[in-house]
Amino acid sequence: MTQGPTRRTVLFATGAAALTVGCSEYGDNSDSGSDSVEASAGTELAKTSDIPVGGGKIFKDEKVVVTQPKEGEFKAFSNICTHQQCPVANVSDGTINCTCHGSKFKIADGSVANPPATKPLPEKQITVDGNSIRLA
C-alpha cells in the first residue's frame, strides 16, 4: 500500500528530466539565432555525391560553384566571372566556363584558363561534413 505514491513520484521525476533534455536540444538547433533565408554559414549546399569528380556544380542562388578536382577534394569559388560579372554558365572539361565572352577558370584553383578574364575566381570557404558540403 505504501508503494503507490512512491512509484508516482519516480514517474513524475523521469518525465521532467525528459522534458528538460528536449528543451536543451531545441535550443542548440536554433544556432546563431538568425532565421533569415539568406545562404549563410552552415547552409548545406550539396551532397558530396552531387559533385562530379573532375567537374563541378553551379549553385546560382548561393552564388557559388563547387568543384571536385580530385576524388574527395572539394573547392568552392564565386560564380561571378571576373571579366564583366556575368554568372558563369557551366563546368566542363576541367574548367568553369563563362559564356558571355568565353572566359574559363580551372576547377582546381579558380585561375584563368582562357581569357578575356585576367583575374581568378575568388575562392569561397566550404566545409565537408560527412557527405554534406556546407558554406563555412
Q: Are 90 and 109 in contact (CB under 8 A)?
A: no
Q: Are 126 and 66 in contact (CB under 8 A)?
A: yes
Shortest distance, position 97 Cβ to ligand FES, whole Å: 9
Q: Cell 552564388 identifies what position? A: 63
User: Considering beta carbons, is residue 39 or 100 the nearer one to ligand FES?
Assistant: 100
> H or E element: which one contains 47?
strand 44-47
Residues near ligand FES (CB under 6 A) are 81, 83-84, 86, 98, 100-103, 116-117
Phi and psi torsions of 10, nearest 5°: -60, -45
User: Considering beta carbons, is residue 49 or 118 the nearer one to ligand FES?
Assistant: 118
Shortest distance, position 110 Cβ to ligand FES, whole Å: 13
Q: Are 67 and 77 in contact (CB under 8 A)?
A: yes
User: Considering beta carbons, is residue 39 or 86 the nearer one to ligand FES?
Assistant: 86
Shortest distance, position 93 Cβ to ligand FES, whole Å: 17
User: Considering beta carbons, is residue 83 or 134 the nearer one to ligand FES?
Assistant: 83
Query: 73-78 and 126-129: which strand pairing?
Result: unpaired
Shortest distance, position 122 Cβ to ligand FES, whole Å: 14
